[in-house]
Structure 1
């Protein structure tokens, strides 16, 4: 079904579609960044735990 739009608002539909596509792209990238941050946090936690154990053994 074809929808009639006036010339004044014809660009609005295209802009809305562009913004929706950009939003989907940004959401995907944001999720990837969030996962990278979680992995980095987990890795740093493991490294910190190992360092604490090593230092405790060295100081005893």
Structure 2
């Protein structure tokens, strides 16, 4: 599939990890949870794109 879609997944994962870490450091649970959610979204997007690659002829 598209490299840009995979890159968006990787970027979303990195952004989520950053927010999660910032939330842990500052003690902000909302930011930490938001970061975990974004990280999960990024991983899911990347996994979907890998799956599409496997299904392409």
Structure 2 length normalisation: TM-score? Answer: 0.50
* Pair member with larger Rg: 1
- Pick 1 or 2: higher relative contact order, CA cutoff 8 A, min separation 6: 2
Q: Which structure shows the higher helix fraction?
A: 2
